[in-house]
Amino acid sequence: MARKQGSHSDITGPKVRAAALRLIARHGYAAVSMRQIAAEVGIQAGALYNYTPDKQTLLFDLMHGHMVDLLGAVEAADFDGTALAQLEAFTRFHIQFHLPRADQVFVSYMELRNLSDENFATVEAKRREYENALERILRVGEVEGTFHIPDPRITTMAIIAMLTGISNWYRAGGRLETDKIEAIYWDMVRRSVTA
């Protein structure tokens, strides 16, 4: 089972996904052609089909991969301590994870419409799982008495929308910038759920 001589699939595969991600984030899935993606990689359109059975699967792999990475990172973060400490950790985690992944975030929230029904259900389930991680923290804080939250589900959606919205205006910037953004948003999140 030795790898074939001249095989570049271990290099070209990632390049295909990177090119697709970049182009789809920029122009949208429906507006990007397989020919454009191939040109970006430096191969012909036909050769793309060595790396994906079709365009739909390529989109799904990008979106699903992003959600798998996100859930894996959440699990690894393993928030603990008081509800307030967990909420701060979650807030900073969300910002730190999403800021360097502008294209993935954009595609994952804009291209849901272009997934097949089955692929949509799979991606949506993972997104729900992520939301639930935050909702659990809010409910713990409510029981603790730290938080005052009339409707944990709505507050979950509100906080995630606020944090994800950073991607709408954030551009480039180094570590210090990120620190400051984290501080400002954590301040707002904290105040919005405490008495």
CA–CA dist 169, 162 (Å, integer): 12
Is residue 43 near DNA by the rule CB under 7 A? Answer: yes
Is residue 9 near DNA by the rule CB under 7 A? Answer: yes
| Candidate list 9, 31, 124, 128; residue touching a copy of itself; CB under 8 A | 31
138-145: list long-range contacts, CB under 8 Å, 24+ apart.
138/83, 138/87, 138/193, 140/83, 140/86, 141/83, 141/84, 141/86, 141/87, 141/193, 144/82, 144/83
User: Residues in the chain, how many?
Assistant: 195
The residues in 122-181 that bind a copy of itself, with binding defined as CB under 8 A, are 150-151, 154-155, 157-162, 164-166, 168-169, 181
CA–CA dist 50, 47 (Å, integer): 6
User: Residue 108: exposed, middle, or buried by beta-carbon count in 10 A (0-12, 13-18, 19+)?
Assistant: buried
| Whether the Cβ atoms of residue 111 and residue 28 lie closer than 8 Å to each other | yes
Is residue 27 near DNA by the rule CB under 7 A? Answer: no
Bridge partner list, 147:
194
Q: Which does 35 bind (CB under 5 to 8 A by kind): a copy of itself, DNA, none?
A: DNA
Q: Which does 55 bind (CB under 5 to 8 A by kind): a copy of itself, DNA, none?
A: DNA
| Candidate list 14, 26, 46, 128; residue touching DNA; CB under 7 A | 46
Q: What would the x/- binding string for a copy of itself be over residues 88 to 127, using CB under 8 A?
A: ----------------------x--xx-------------
Is residue 32 near DNA by the rule CB under 7 A? Answer: yes
Tell me the closest approach of the beta carbon of residue 165 to a copy of itself, in angstroms.
3
> Residue 19 or 182: which CB sits closer to a copy of itself?
182
Phi, psi of 194 (to 5 degrees): -95, 165
| Candidate list 26, 27, 50, 116; residue touching DNA; CB under 7 A | 50
| Whether the Cβ atoms of residue 71 and residue 127 lie closer than 8 Å to each other | no
Binding residues vs a copy of itself (CB under 8 A): 26-31, 110, 113-114, 150-151, 154-155, 157-162, 164-166, 168-169, 181, 183-185, 187-189, 191-194
